[in-house]
Amino acid sequence: MSHNIIVTGGAGFIGSHLVCALLSAGHRVVVLDDLSTGKLTNLPVHPNCHFIEVDIVDELALARIFESERPSLVYHEAAIASVQKSIHDPVRTSSVNDYGAKHIFELAVHVGSEQVIFASSAAVYGEDERLPKLETFEPTPLSPYGVQKWQNEIDAVRLAKKGRTRFTALRYFNVYGPKQDPQSEYSGVISIFVDRILQNKPITIFGNGEQTRDFVNIADVVQANMVVQELPSNVDIFNVGTAKKTSLIDLAKHLYSIENRIENIVFQPKREGDIRHSVADIGLLMSKTVYFPNVHILQGLQTLVSAVKSQRNR
Ligand code: NAD
Ligand code: UD1
């Protein structure tokens, strides 16, 4: 069935890949984005792809858009996606990540959307040291960002009781792939490392490099977003990862060996709010859908490095 879909944050890294998949599946897509980190060039030129520049904190503008579009499905990806930024600027991140999400969720219920699928985060698990992370663990976030994502899930549970809209929270682990912007100090670590290694500049590891992450390729994250469409439950919360962990030091080694370069690593103190180990249990998502993580980290890194190099040569 073809849907009219709103994708917030659709000009960003994850959102733009999702938009392409939704267009390929025959849906009409309306992207809402303030272009704070997203770029118009991330979006395809396609007759079914429409872009509206809007800040999700602007309640009135959002209400107008939802009233006229009346989307059957809403993907909410817009956020200030950085743990560090939430520590340095908790007020602005809270207004976007918490209140912005509330506006989107309330409006989806108000116009009778069938489902809201939204980006939560592994950051909700915080300081709980048990591994792998199970959705049943009580969240203990270490950063304002983790708290904001947890609040989104609490709002979803509350609103799912109010109307006919179903809510699906996807707790992404560490997502990587083409189009992830390396330019800010707040960018995802893989995009930064690839960028610096290709420029022959040293990389920085915060802490001793033994911290681990479940790095999940963008193709698998898009897959997760597609397979949860039409799930019957009022509320679902799923981890989205690979169930495999990689330390920062191993990540750096893989990248240097792909490029056949001598390691050039600077160590700095651990960052505030940094979780130590993170790996997903993905049994729940795999049991309720056909989700299967297809991209092995080594293969994903290799493809990413080639993509970034060919982009630069253009
Ligand atoms: P991104 O920064 O590339 O994308 C976020 C998009 O939201 C951008 O296009 C940005 O311009 C837009 N945006 C930000 N504030 C906005 C506002 N006030 N109004 C309208 N648009 C706004 O980041 P991403 O990595 O693609 O993250 C997408 C989502 O996934 C976010 O919700 C993030 O918290 C979540 N997430 C990301 C990861 C990851 O590893 N990248 C992991 C877990 C969760
Ligand atoms: C990331 C996402 C966040 C998501 C979370 C889910 C980004 C920017 N952040 O947070 O949206 O919700 O995963 O788990 O995509 N590091 C270095 N050197 C660097 C940069 C980072 O050593 O130059 C380290 C960090 O200290 C951290 C690890 O790499 O230990 C990962 O950092 P980062 O990519 O910023 O992601 P998270 O904080 O895990």
Question: For residue 267, what pLDDT is reported?
Answer: 98
Considering only CA atoms, which of 170, 133, 143 is closest in space to residue 279?
A: 133
Question: For residue 184, what pLDDT is reported?
Answer: 82
**Percentage with pLDDT > 70 across the chain:** 100
Q: Which two tokens stand for residue 251?
A: 């990540």
| Residue 271 beta carbon below 6 angstroms from any ligand 2 atom | yes
Encode pLDDT of 12-68 as tens digits. 999 999 999 999 999 999 999 999 999 999 999 999 999 999 999 999 999 999 999
| Residue 174 beta carbon below 6 angstroms from any ligand 1 atom | yes
Please give, one letter per residue, the 3-state secondary structure of 147-171.
Answer: HHHHHHHHHHHHHHCCCCCEEEEEE
**Percentage with pLDDT > 90 across the chain:** 93
Question: Rounded CA gap, 119 and 228, in Å?
Answer: 12
pLDDT value at 295 more than 80: yes
| Residue 274 beta carbon below 6 angstroms from any ligand 2 atom | yes
| Mean pLDDT, range 97-116, rounded to an integer | 98
Q: Which residue's alpha carbon is at the smallest distance from atom 11 of ligand 2?
A: 81
Predicted confidence band of residue 186 (pLDDT cuts 50, 70, 90): confident
Question: For residue 185, what pLDDT is reported?
Answer: 76
**What pairing do the DSSP bridges indicate for beta strands 203-206 and 4-8?**
unpaired
Encode pLDDT of 138-161 as tens digits. 999 999 999 999 999 999 999 999
pLDDT value at 286 more than 80: yes
Question: For residue 1, what pLDDT is reported?
Answer: 80
Question: For residue 313, what pLDDT is reported?
Answer: 83
The string of DSSP letters for 171-210 reads EE-EEE-TT----STTS-HHHHHHHHHHTTPPEEEESSS-
Question: Is the peptide bond preceding residue 269 cis, with omega within 30 degrees of 0?
Answer: no
Question: For residue 116, what pLDDT is reported?
Answer: 98
- Contact indicator for 39, 50 with CB cutoff of 8 Å: no
Residue type for position 164:
R
Question: For residue 172, what pLDDT is reported?
Answer: 98
- Contact indicator for 176, 307 with CB cutoff of 8 Å: no
Encode pLDDT of 216-243 as tens digits. 999 999 999 999 999 999 999 999 999 9
**Residue 15 Cα to ligand 1 middle (Å):** 7
Looking at the CA of 83, which ligand is closest?
2
What residue ranges define each of the domains in the chain, with the CATH number in brackets? 4-175+217-241+283-288 (3.40.50.720), 176-212+245-279+296-313 (3.90.25.10)
Mutation probe of ligand 1 site: the residue of 13, 66, 93, 220 with most atoms within 8 A of C-beta:
13
Looking at the CA of 208, which ligand is closest?
2
- Contact indicator for 229, 168 with CB cutoff of 8 Å: no
Identify the residue whose tokens are 């060996």.
257
Predicted confidence band of residue 77 (pLDDT cuts 50, 70, 90): very high
| Residue 55 beta carbon below 6 angstroms from any ligand 1 atom | yes
